[in-house]
Amino acid sequence: MAEGWLKSAAGEGGTMLLQAGGHWDARNVTRLDLQLRDLTPTDDMPVVLDLGAVERLDTAGAWLLYRTLKTCRAGGGRADFAGLTPAYQTMLEQVAANDQPAEIEPPHPAALLAVLERLGRGAVDVGEEAKQQVAFLGLLLVCLAGSLRHPSRLRLVPLVYHMEKVGFNALPIVGLISFLIGVVLAYQGATQLQRFGAEIFVVNLIAVSVLREIAILLTAIVVAGRSGSAFTAEIGSMVVNEEVDAMRTLGLDPMEVLVLPRVLALVITLPLLAFFADMLGLFGGMLMCWLALDISPGLYLERLQDAVSLWSFWVGIIKAPFFAFLIAMVGCLEGLRVTRSAESVGQQTTRSVVTGIFLVIVVDAMFSIFFAAVGV
């Protein structure tokens, strides 16, 4: 196999003469490329590439020669070809014309591997999120224990203020939703039970569904979307405005000043909201039974007493403080995780609502399993 070769010599007038010969093709480009890269002409030294002894030239060799000429010119010096045949000149012109940058398309992994990669990354993110929530829970419990040992450190004015915001101001929307849910349950239950002549049992359906599950669950979801997002937005805005850093500079603990009053306010008010939702849900069911099934309010209340036990009421109320604690904790945590940008406030607020609702549903399912296991 014929080999290509390259010789360097000093030319006339202080030029650097590069003599190329032999076969400049794909079989020799690796070795020739190393030789060309070892050349170190100075910036002001003219370079002449003499191709008079080249016996064969393909596009690979032409690219090496063109690249060398281009590199020399980029350094500020003069560089030219010599000994070109018409065929070689045409090939070099084609190489120069096609010297256009092109982005390399990244490789596309297999669909199954991509799905597994996303699942793995999601599992890692969930684990990291759970670790941060557990760590924040520990900080919150330590802060709560400190406030119990020193009650004077508890800020009553912010506590009452947040109780009004998350409790009293939420009564209209919670009451309306619970009332409408009671109406829907009564109407849908009556439609199905009338087929069997058992429409009187719609009272049982309304009572058990509203008291044990629907009222507290919907109330918690509304509070997560309303108050949990507000906690995140308020604390996040303070992070953006560097107010939280200012608190730490003054020796104030943001956990005591910002987090604990919000958590306690929601833990106190959510059971009251749950009770209010229970009453409105039962009232909506009673009104629908009276209008659609001709079940009088007196008969409805009498049947209600026979249908439910005291535990049916307490099951929903017992869940409320746990839901409230989770919603407030997630809302405050996401607020403190806001970076100093307005976009981050929106992202963490959305994350707060989604995480809060998810945790509420998970804990509600755990409570359902627990109460079923103990026979309540």
Query: Same domain for 161 and 296?
Result: yes
Asked if residue 112 is part of any domain, the answer here is no
CA distance readout (Å), 239 to 11, 187, 264, 319, 350: 70, 48, 21, 32, 17
Query: Same domain for 88 and 164?
Result: no
> End of a domain among 39, 67, 97?
97
Bridge-partner residues for 49, per DSSP?
A: 18, 81
pLDDT at 42 over 80: no
Please state, rounded to an integer, the average pLDDT across all residues of the chain: 86
pLDDT in tens, 147-157: 888 888 888 89
pLDDT at 1: 47
> End of a domain among 97, 124, 150?
97
pLDDT band, residue 44 (cuts 50/70/90): low
Query: Same domain for 55 and 170?
Result: no
Query: Same domain for 70 and 177?
Result: no
Asked if residue 157 is part of any domain, the answer here is yes
pLDDT in tens, 283-341: 999 998 888 788 888 888 888 888 888 888 899 899 999 999 999 999 999 999 998 88
Query: Same domain for 35 and 166?
Result: no
Query: Same domain for 88 and 159?
Result: no
Asked if residue 145 is part of any domain, the answer here is yes
Query: Same domain for 204 and 338?
Result: yes
Asked if residue 108 is part of any domain, the answer here is no
> End of a domain among 61, 82, 97?
97
Count of domains for the chain: 2
Query: Same domain for 326 and 234?
Result: yes
Asked if residue 347 is part of any domain, the answer here is yes
Domain of 298 in residue numbering reads as 141-374
Bridge-partner residues for 48, per DSSP?
A: 17, 80
